[in-house]
Amino acid sequence: MRISLLGLLAGTAALAVAASTAQAADLPSRRSPAPIYNAMPAFTWTGFYVGANAGYGWSTGTSRYYDPAFGYVGSNSNGGFVGGGQIGYNYQLGMFVIGAETDIQYAAVGNKGASYGTTYYRGNSDGYYGTIRARLGVAFDRALVFGTGGYAYGDVGGNNAYDTVLGYHRGNNTNGGWTLGGGVEYAVTDNITAKVEGSYVNLDTRSNYVIDTSRVTRRDSEFGVVRAGVNYKFN
């Protein structure tokens, strides 16, 4: 009888545990739901942009006076403020970024001129230039290292010749040429980028004033530029 009683108690306990477990399974869970993570979108350089820049330019060309007895004589280069605006488009393919950019700049880099006896040659230092360039770069997330090159045009001054008797001859005009450069750009936010770049611009060489059959001036419209800029990138 004792054994039967123990068996009955054990069976009753087992049924109670099973019922309790089944009832607990029907109750809502008290555990918090698993958190949902939204992955941040990767930054891309693709898109149109517009911006402004400012920096310093210096003439690497010459204003020289030619005499057959002495050759080219005299040289005086100039440097000054450069600033303007740019607009362009980038397209990113993996780590590589290709694009195109055009800009227009004020440039105080004209040659001041050269003197020879009572005759001297000078031009104002104020001028402008613009470029239409391709860009190719490598992106490291928000940092972009790029090279650039293409067509350049402009009038940077230093192309007037002056004779004390005849006055100014052959005024400034626009020339075409080429440019090469490179730089680094960084995306401060998804829409704002900042850059530093350097470039070399060559607007061709020309002889522009003959006093007589023995003398002529020569101007080299070549200059270097270092500038910083900021762009607004449209998504």
* 164 within a domain of the structure (yes/no): yes
User: What domain range is 109 assigned to?
Assistant: 47-233
Confidence of residue 120 (pLDDT cuts 50, 70, 90): very low
In a domain, 173, yes or no: yes
- Region 144-163: mean pLDDT is 80
- State residue 116's pLDDT score: 46
In this predicted structure, what is the pLDDT of residue 83?
A: 96
* Mean predicted confidence (pLDDT) in 125-131: 86
User: CATH code at 162?
Assistant: 2.40.160.20
Give a yes or no: residue 42 inside a domain.
no
Give CA–CA dist 2/100, Å, rounded.
97
Q: Is residue 17 part of a domain?
A: no
- Residue 92: per-residue pLDDT: 96
Its pTM stands at: 0.69
Residue 138 lies in a domain: yes
Q: Which long-range contacts (CB under 8 A, 24 or more apart) does 141-144 make?
A: 141/42, 141/43, 142/43, 142/186, 142/187, 143/184, 143/185, 143/186, 143/187, 144/45, 144/97, 144/184, 144/185, 144/186, 144/187
211-229 tens-digit pLDDT: 554 444 555 678 999 999 9
* Domain count across the chain: 1
Residues above pLDDT 70, as percent of the chain: 54
Confirm whether 203 is domain-assigned: yes
Residue 15 placed within a domain: no
